[in-house]
Structures are given as structure tokens and as C-alpha cells.
Amino acid sequence: MSKARSPRKKSSKPQLRRKRAGFWRFLFRAGAVGLVLLAGWMVYLDAVVTSRFEGRRFEVPSRVYARPLELYDGASISASGLARELALAGYRAGDGVRVGTYQRNGGRFVISARGFRFPDGEEPRRRLSLVVSGDRVQSFSVLAGPDSPIVRLEPAQIGGIYPSHREDRVLVRLEEVPELLPKGLMVIEDRQFYEHFGVAPLSIARAMLVNLKAGHIVQGGSTLTQQLVKNFFLTRDQTLARKGNEALMSVLLEWHYEKDDILETYLNEVYLGQAGNRSINGFGLASQFFFGEPLKDLDVHQLALLIGMVKGPSYYNPRRQPERAKTRRDLVLSEMAEAGLISAEESAQAIARPLGVSSRPSYTDNRYPAYIDLVRRHLARDYRQQDLQSEGLRIFTTLDPAVQNAAETAIRDTLPRLARGNARDALEAALVVTAKDTGEVLALVGGKDPEFAGFNRAVDASRPIGSLIKPFTYLAALEQADRYTLITPVQDRAFTLEFDDGRLWQPKNFDSKERGDVPLHLALSRSYNLPAVRVGLDVGIPQVQQVLRAFGVTTPISDYPSMLLGALSLTPAEVAQLYQGLATSGFNTPLRTIREVTDADNAPLSRYSLKVDRVADPAAVHLVQYAMQETMQEGTARSAYNLLPQRLSLAGKTGTTDQGRDAWFAGFSGDLLAVAWVGRDDNGPTALTGASGALPVWSAMMAQLPQHGFSPVMPDGVQYHWVNVQEQVLTGEGCPGARLVPFITGSEPRQRMDCEGQFGRQIRSWFEGLFR
């Protein structure tokens, strides 16, 4: 710590010897001028120090939280996932009794939850017991605390929105901090804190004496107030003038503010370490940074370490200089015992304990830069950047750390396998995962290096979507139930379109083959191009555009037929939005990354509620979902099941653009919707397709997460029939070629054929067509 000398007036006065009478007059005048100058200087310093004091007290970055983990019987989580989630929220393995610890025995967990103030109410401290078996929570019970069948853990903090000088704060209030902290601090740093007026000349004199004796600086005489002032203006120069100013400002601070205000600000302000380019200020943040725990949960030995570190945060850095730090901590502990703050026994016990510092700083830089980037963009619609950086807002996002982890792992592990050499180095990827029915963005990866806060492909790379457009073309067709059903034959034959200006367009299939008539469901699940263009032209491009707009495309859509093969550029996040409506049977659900924003005192500022909007007939969407399930089971995406369990029913669509410039896959299970993109930033060709490039990433992500299969509820106005697709007739279950296919009621074939191939007429019951 710094050494301070006795403050003296700053102004220098030329002393001239004159006549006696004149001398006194001169002295008087000079004194007056000096006083005026000093007063002016004091006014200036006063303005500087108070504005700094006020400013610092309130300049707090916004905190960004992951979604809280909800624990209840049946909750979907793996044991390792729960352990990871607990670690992320700052829980430590322990006895499960001490607050903030958990005990794990195989799949059995006992968690001592800290409690948290959520925007919609307080989640009290509780001890919980549960078993994770088969990737689900079972035998959930509350051992201590108010009983409830469902409990939220406090959410992990996943980032902050920092002011430009990159300082972070975890504000603590004086009445909340352990009593021992301010008391211990005073014992070590400033015993007369509550008596002095900002400076303590006696301590300074004593310090000087000690220092003179020792020949170097061993003791500082700065009061806590002086240290606070010094902290405001972090500069290294130790000039006498600077010391004088600091002392003056200290006195001024004391004059303006109560001791407790100064102490509280000190606790939140004092410099205690460095994390990269960010300084660790205040005990609240230091507690998180060094122990991964809130200040109020710290033990005596941990408090003593922090108190000891005030003297030299880098010199006594417990991660770099553990021995030095321990010596210092133990000294603090014995001083505390000597001063009667703790008993000798407590002191001895604490000295026997290790430093207890967490191995990794719990507040590194934003862990999920791509995700936070999207959160920022959403916030920017409603908040000023300045407020986000300084008002200490609490931002509750929808990020699911388990899903994010799965998404990052999938890209990291899969991408290197997709190509070799330079081709591999050039590959990039993006992945967006949302909760199917809520539209909450659970995970977002913006590139192959998820920790790199650079180009965010998930929200900025707008690329042609290729065949991802086809479900919407067929939806437009199937909405016309009198003209199209899933078994309607569509032509897989080449043709040439001639435009008004004489140009010709000849679409081709990916494999350049033609198959003649194929049923519509097959044309979609195998992603044939020729039928898609024919059907699209038949129902009309405007009709297809209208469907796309209803499902959320806001960018201009080309009027050219090439649009029907996906000449429409969208970002992965936009594709996720587009597919949300398909996954939820025609209900558009706006994607959200934020649930709520509150101010620092938990007063709600904004809520971003769930919204649904019916944009298509659920019956027609159900038919498209059928073909998209077929895509996974027998169509272009069947290789997904190399990685995924057969039992997990899924629906999806592959997309590939010319020469493999873009490989897409968009698909969903019962719980999750995900869109994967793989390609090159320079838009160069690759050897990949949607199925060989994007699908492996998608599947690798899905394979890591327990989830429900996709099994849509049959909507109103849909009936399933066994049909012989070849013959376009109804048939019996088990007959040769029989397939169970959904129809919009009334659009099923009229003719029936028995297993022997004998035709008969079906008698339609009168009510079947009643509600058409």
C-alpha cells in the first residue's frame, strides 16, 4: 500500500523582505489571495471527487444470466449435465449442507441451493434431494426450506455488458456483507476509520517513523478514505502534490458523506486483481473471481485472504503466489484474533485451512460471445447502450448451458472430419438451437471457434437456403387439398423455361436423373428439384412467397422461378425462425433470447413474453411434417440415424447450393429445433451437401441431449388412411404396398382396393365432410 505524508497547503508563496508595515499588509494580502486560491482549488477538487464518487457508485455493468435450471420430477437432464450446470452456477462439490455446495453419489444429488431473487419473486434457500436416472430427475424432494414440487436454481452468469473501461462490479451493500469483513479491514488497514476526518496524521507519523527506521516502506498510513480516493484516480505517480490532493479530497469526501457510505463504496471500489484486460474491483466481484461464491457465503479464512490482498493485489495474488498469499492471510487472521474479532481457536482453525481459491476464475470474459452478441442486438431495440453499460441491469436470457455445450462440441468435433487440408481449414459453420414450442434461443454458435468473438455467422451470414425452401412450396400446394395430397403424382421430368427476354432456364436434379411420376411425399423427402419447381410454378410463385412471408421471411423474395430452388438468402437464425412455424404445426413463435430485464433492484423493466400466431392451417402443416419425418427415416437425411437412436423420431430437411457452397440442415425433435450451416466465408465451393456437411453437425449436437421424439398431435381435419400409393387407392393395413398416410379430411382417395387387388367403392360417412 502507498505511503502517505502529512498534507500541506499547496500554494507556494514568495516571501520577500520589505518594510515592516508593508510586510504585514503584504502578508495579509498574500494570505487572502492564497486562501482564495486554496478555496478555488478545494471547490475544484470537491467537484472532481464528488462526481467521481457518485459516478462510481452507480456505474455498474449489466449482468447477463443463463436460463435458470428448473428441477422437478421428470425434468430432462443427465447426471453429468447437472454437475456441469451446478459448477457453472458456482456450486462446489461438498457436503450438500453448506449453502452453495452439493453432494453427488452416482445419480443421487443433494444440493444446498442459495436462493435467488427472480423478477417474478424470490426463490428461497433450500436443500434439495433428487436422483438422476435415465436422464431424468426422479424422487425430487425439498429437505429443508419451503416445500415445492418445482425449484429453480439461481442462474449462471454468462456475461456482462461492460463500460468501455472494462471494469466489472458485483455491488454489495454494507448491511449484506459479513460483519467480519469491514471489521477485519479496519484492523488491518485503518483502525481509526470511524474517528478520523479523512486523514490520520498520527498514523502517518507513525508509519513514517517505522519506514525511516526500516529504511524502506513497510507501513502505509493511508486511511481507507485516502485509499478510496487513490483508487478513483489510478495513476502510478507518487508526487507530493498528488498526495496532497488525495488528502484534501479525502477530507472533502468525509465532509460530504457518512462514514458508512464511504465504507460501502470502498468495499465496492477497491482494486483486488486483474483478469486479462479487466480489473477486478470490489470485494463482491473478487469473491466471485477468486472463490466462485457470493461474498455473503465466504468463510473466515477466505475473508482474511481478501482483506490481506488489499495491500498488494498482484503481489499477493493467490493463484500466482499461493505461498505469499497464505503467509499474508495467516498474518491477517492472527491480527484479527489479537483484536478480538475472532477467537484464537477460530484463527488457528482458519490458518490450518488451504486458501480455498477456485482453480479457474469464475468470471472470465464472456463465454458465449455469439450468443451475447445476439442478446445485445435484441437489447439495442429497447435500451440505450449507455444504460446497458452503467445501470447494473439484470438480463435474464434463454441460453441453456447444456445445449450450448452440446452445440459447441458438435461443431468442434465434427467440422475437422468433413474435409482435409486447406479445404478443411476454410470450412466454417454455424448452429442455432431453439426450444421448439417456445421460440427461445437455447444455443448459438457463430463459427468453428466458439470462443472467438468475431464474425457471427449465425446471425450475419446470409446465404442461399437451397432446398430448405421446398417444404414451403409443398405447403402452399397441400393447402389446396382438392388439388394436392401427399400421394398426388408429381412429374420428375426435365423441362425448359423461356423468359420474356429469351433467356432459358433448365433446372436439374442433384443427380441429374429423371424418374417420371413420383408421389408428392417422396418428391419432398428425396428432395427432387424438378417436381419442386413444377409444383411451385403450378401453385404460383406469389403463393409460395406468401407462405414464406407468413412464416417470417422479411427480406425481399425473388420473383424468378429459381427462387423455388432456394435462391433466397437467409441467415441461420432466420431459417430457425422460418422452421419454427413448421415445427409447431403452423404457429409462428418469435425467436427470443431474453425473458426479462430488471434494474439493479429487481424492478421489472421489460418482459418478452411468449407469443404465438397461427400462420398456416395446422392440417396442411401436419402433412408437410409427415414428409419431413420421412426425410429422416428414408430420405436425404437418413444418415442422421447413424448417430442418433432409432427411437427418436425427428423431422427435417437438407439443403445444398451449387457446388456445395452452402450445406444446410434444418430439423426438429419434440423439444428442440436446430439449424446447421456449413460452408466457406469466401463462398467457395466444397465437396459437401446438406446431408454430408450440415447434417453430421446437427446430429452430433442432437445425440448429446436427452429429448422427446417428434410426434405431432393430429390436428383437426386430418385423417390417416392406409393407401396404396402406386394405385392411388385406399387399402387395408398389411396389404402389399400399404402405407399409412395423413390426408386432409375429404381429400383421401375414394376407391378402395383389397389385398388381392380387387377394387371396391368406399362409402363415405356423412359426417366426415361436415366440417370441411
Partner 1 sequence: MNKTVISRAGCLALMLALAGCATAPGGGSIYVPRGAEERTRAPEPPRTSEPEQDAEPPVWRKSEQPDIREPEAPATRSPSYRESGDELPAAAVSLIRDADQRLRQGDSAGAIARLERAQRIAPRSAEVYFKLAEAYVEGGNLGAAEQFTLKGLSLAGNDSRMQRSGWLLLADIRRARGNVAGADQAETRARAL
Which is closer to partner 1, CB of 149 or CB of 760?
149
Tell me which residue has cell 514568495.
14
* 385 lies in the binding site for partner 1 (CB under 8 A): no
* 465 lies in the binding site for partner 1 (CB under 8 A): no
Distance in Å, CB of 437 to partner 1, minimum: 3
Distance in Å, CB of 438 to partner 1, minimum: 6
Cβ-proximal residues to 242 (8 Å cutoff; 6+ apart), any chain: 235
Which is closer to partner 1, CB of 147 or CB of 260?
147
* Binding range to partner 1, per CB under 8 A, among 39-47, 206-214, 571-579, 631-639: 631-639
Selected from 618, 652, 655, 690, the binder of partner 1 by CB under 8 A is 618
* 590 lies in the binding site for partner 1 (CB under 8 A): no
Distance in Å, CB of 755 to partner 1, minimum: 16
Give the 3-state secondary structure of residue 624: helix
Give the strands of the sheet with 157-161, arranged side by side.
157-161, 62-65, 394-397, 594-598, 604-607
HEC readout, 281-298: ECHHHHHHHHHCCCHHHC
HEC readout, 415-454: HHHCCCHHHHHHEEEEEEEEECCCCEEEEEECCCCCCCCC
Selected from 38, 348, 453, 612, the binder of partner 1 by CB under 8 A is 612
Selected from 185, 253, 309, 406, the binder of partner 1 by CB under 8 A is 406
User: What's the CA gap between 772 and 769, in Å, rounded?
Assistant: 5
Residue list 679-738, contact with partner 1 (CB under 8 A): 696, 700, 703-716, 720
> Would residue 189 show up in a list of annotated catalytic residues for this protein?
yes
* 37 lies in the binding site for partner 1 (CB under 8 A): no
String of contacts with partner 1 for each residue 304-343, x by CB under 8 A: ----------------------------------------
String of contacts with partner 1 for each residue 645-664, x by CB under 8 A: xxxxx-x-------------
Q: Closest by alpha carbon to 135, among 87, 82, 92?
A: 82
User: What's the CA gap between 693 and 676, in Å, rounded?
Assistant: 9
Selected from 8, 320, 614, 772, the binder of partner 1 by CB under 8 A is 614
Selected from 52, 653, 739, 752, the binder of partner 1 by CB under 8 A is 739
Radius of gyration of the chain from its Cα atoms, rounded to whole angstroms: 35
Which is closer to partner 1, CB of 94 or CB of 107?
107
Cβ-proximal residues to 542 (8 Å cutoff; 6+ apart), any chain: none
* 673 lies in the binding site for partner 1 (CB under 8 A): no
* Binding range to partner 1, per CB under 8 A, among 123-131, 246-254, 429-437, 538-546: 429-437
Give the 3-state secondary structure of residue 148: coil
Are the C-beta atoms of residues 298 and 291 closer than 8 Å to each other?
A: yes
Residue 99 carries which DSSP code? T
Q: Dig out the grid coordinates for 210 from the structure.
A: 517505522
User: What's the CA gap between 734 and 617, in Å, rounded?
Assistant: 31
* 107 lies in the binding site for partner 1 (CB under 8 A): yes
Phi, psi of 452 (to 5 degrees): -85, 120
> Where does 90-156 show beta strands of DSSP type E?
92-93, 101-105, 108-113, 116-118, 121-123, 126-133, 136-144, 150-152
* 609 lies in the binding site for partner 1 (CB under 8 A): yes
Which is closer to partner 1, CB of 337 or CB of 442?
442
Q: Closest by alpha carbon to 441, among 574, 568, 552?
A: 574
* 378 lies in the binding site for partner 1 (CB under 8 A): no
* 642 lies in the binding site for partner 1 (CB under 8 A): yes
* Binding range to partner 1, per CB under 8 A, among 319-327, 370-378, 408-416, 654-662: 408-416
* Binding range to partner 1, per CB under 8 A, among 115-123, 224-232, 251-259, 450-458: 115-123
* 438 lies in the binding site for partner 1 (CB under 8 A): yes
> Would residue 258 show up in a list of annotated catalytic residues for this protein?
no
Distance in Å, CB of 142 to partner 1, minimum: 12
* Other beta carbons less than 10 A from residue 537's beta carbon: 15
Which is closer to partner 1, CB of 413 or CB of 517?
413
Q: Partners of 491 in the beta sheet?
A: 517
Angle, in degrees to the nearest 10, between helices 79-88 and 401-414: 110
Which is closer to partner 1, CB of 84 or CB of 515?
84
User: What's the CA gap between 350 and 575, in Å, rounded?
Assistant: 57
Residue list 51-90, contact with partner 1 (CB under 8 A): 70, 72-76, 78-80, 83
Distance in Å, CB of 573 to partner 1, minimum: 20
Selected from 62, 223, 571, 629, the binder of partner 1 by CB under 8 A is 629
Distance in Å, CB of 595 to partner 1, minimum: 8
Which is closer to partner 1, CB of 413 or CB of 559?
413
Distance in Å, CB of 148 to partner 1, minimum: 7
Distance in Å, CB of 520 to partner 1, minimum: 14
Which is closer to partner 1, CB of 473 or CB of 629?
629
Q: Dig out the grid coordinates for 674 from the structure.
A: 436446430
Catalytic residue among 62, 362, 467, 699: 467
Distance in Å, CB of 627 to partner 1, minimum: 8
Which is closer to partner 1, CB of 174 or CB of 714?
714
Cβ-proximal residues to 420 (8 Å cutoff; 6+ apart), any chain: none
* 633 lies in the binding site for partner 1 (CB under 8 A): yes
Distance in Å, CB of 730 to partner 1, minimum: 16
Distance in Å, CB of 507 to partner 1, minimum: 28
Phi, psi of 442 (to 5 degrees): -90, -30
* 765 lies in the binding site for partner 1 (CB under 8 A): no
Which is closer to partner 1, CB of 475 or CB of 648?
648
User: What's the CA gap between 258 and 187, in Å, rounded?
Assistant: 20
Distance in Å, CB of 540 to partner 1, minimum: 27
User: What's the CA gap between 497 and 473, in Å, rounded?
Assistant: 18
Distance in Å, CB of 604 to partner 1, minimum: 8
Residue list 541-580, contact with partner 1 (CB under 8 A): none
Q: Partners of 606 in the beta sheet?
A: 597
Q: With residue 567 as reference, give the H or E element that holds it.
A: none
* 522 lies in the binding site for partner 1 (CB under 8 A): no
Catalytic residue among 189, 293, 428, 440: 189
Residue list 117-176, contact with partner 1 (CB under 8 A): 119-121, 134-136, 148-150
User: What's the CA gap between 57 and 691, in Å, rounded?
Assistant: 55
Are the C-beta atoms of residues 142 and 128 closer than 8 Å to each other?
A: yes
Are the C-beta atoms of residues 578 and 553 closer than 8 Å to each other?
A: yes
Which is closer to partner 1, CB of 464 or CB of 693?
693
* 594 lies in the binding site for partner 1 (CB under 8 A): no
Tell me which residue has cell 455469439.
370
Helices within 125-258 (DSSP H only): 180-189, 201-214, 224-232, 240-256
User: What's the CA gap between 172 and 204, in Å, rounded?
Assistant: 30
Which is closer to partner 1, CB of 365 or CB of 437?
437
| Burial status of residue 580 (CB atoms within 10 A of its CB: 0-12, 13-18, 19 or more) | buried
# chain residues binding partner 1, by CB under 8 A? 87
Selected from 211, 509, 546, 639, the binder of partner 1 by CB under 8 A is 639
Which is closer to partner 1, CB of 50 or CB of 649?
649
Are the C-beta atoms of residues 696 and 688 closer than 8 Å to each other?
A: no
Please list the active-site residues.
189, 467
